[in-house]
Amino acid sequence: MKVAIIGGGSWGTTVASLASINADAILWCRSDIVASDINDNHKNTRYLDNLPLSKTLHATTDLEQCLDGAELIVMAVPAQGFRSILIEVSQIIQTHEAKLQTNNAPETTKPKTTEPQKNKSKTSPPSKSPIPIISLTKGLEQKTTLRMTQVISEVMPDNPSGILTGPNLAREVLEGHATASVAVSEDEKIAEATQDALSIPTFRIYTHTDVVGAELGGALKNVIALAAGMVEGLGKGDNTRASVITRGLAELTRLGISMGGRPDTLAGLAGMGDLIVTSISSQSRNRFVGQQLGKGLALNEVIEKMDQVAEGVYTTEVALGLASKHGVEMPISEAVQTVVSGVLTAEEAYQELLKRQMRSELD
């Protein structure tokens, strides 16, 4: 199998390195410097320091070269740029398929003959099955509020889709620490193909069919991770942080179920597992942003310090819009939005949450 991975950030590079162990993997990067570093030094020092990558991984800045012959496409680009890159992918594939059809078309310029033709009939080769597209992106499109698999369905409706998600910190995966992930697709064969292509002994991939629940869990946990980071930045204790994470899980579960997800999905790797690691790890971008906001920095000051995207910054407003649409209460997410938008400081938002009326935990 040839696997094309689109996006040379930390997680895209990590997944590409895993894929190259089991398959013929090629990684598309925007930067010539990053691609050369991967090809020449087997490292992506810009995003992953000096951690070694698989020596069989090849990188390119030529998207057409990356997609040539691909049997599985893995999208690892930020949510707000996902659609534009996918449109490029679609156009390249359509152009390639059109060329193949032209080359395989029967010739019509030869003169006709009245002699019977025996065993000369030709049929065009069977059309190639649409290439599955797997998203690694944990976010929601701001303009449309769509999940990434929904974007895939709009841009490339004939191609089956799925996601890979879970508590997966890129550096720890590359360092060989045991990690669990989940490949999710409504088509179990696609989930199993992803499992086969990317699993290694220390990176254990489970399969699932609840795309809605898994995708929402991966996106919404970033919002709660911002809140957990703010708690840390404010200097509050572990009790506070644990309370925010747990009540945050209740929030994302309520919204996830209201939109068609399953509660067991949101209590599993795609929900609770991912929420925990994103909320507590020093490697988490969303936790870092929240922590800096808790210390009093403005959002633009924090973003300027970063080389990669913290999806929660863009997901919060979308999540609240969906919550309003589905009649779901999300007070922690609302508090995060007031801080991100500069309406309140983190301390003020914290105090407002403490004023809320107490009620049953099951409400």
| Per-residue H/E/C for 242-306 | HHHHHHHHHHHHHHHHHCCCCHHHHCCHHHHHHHHHHHHCCCCHHHHHHHHHHCCCCHHHHHHCC
Q: What's the pLDDT at 187?
A: 97
Collapsing DSSP to helix, strand or coil, 130 comes out as: coil
Q: How far apart are CA 177 and CA 149, in angstroms?
A: 29
Task: Assess contact for 148 and 137: CB atoms under 8 A.
Answer: yes
Q: What's the pLDDT at 118?
A: 46
Of the CATH numbers 1.10.3470.10, 1.10.10.10, 1.25.60.10, 1.10.1040.10, which one belongs to the domain with range 212-354? 1.10.1040.10
Q: What's the pLDDT at 105?
A: 64
Nearest of 170, 209, 172, 144 to residue 5 by alpha carbon:
170
The widest CA-to-CA distance across the chain, in whole angstroms, is: 93
Tokens of 330: 């999300």
Residue in 112, 221, 305, 355 annotated catalytic: 221
Sheet strand arrangement including 179-184 = 58-60, 24-28, 2-6, 72-75, 133-135, 161-165, 179-184, 203-208
Nearest of 330, 190, 318 to residue 257 by alpha carbon:
330
Q: Are strands 179-184 and 72-75 parallel, antiparallel or unpaired?
A: unpaired
All residue ranges of the chain with pLDDT < 50 are 110, 113-114, 116-126
2-97+130-208: CATH superfamily: NAD(P)-binding Rossmann-like Domain (3.40.50.720)
pTM equals 0.91
Q: What's the pLDDT at 107?
A: 59
Q: How far apart are CA 15 and CA 44, in angstroms?
A: 13
Domain ranges for the chain, please list them. Answer: 2-97+130-208, 212-354
Task: Assess contact for 46 and 306: CB atoms under 8 A.
Answer: no
Non-local CB neighbours of 56 within 8 Å, separated by 6+ positions: 20, 21, 25
Residue 236 catalytic?
Answer: no
Q: What's the pLDDT at 126?
A: 46
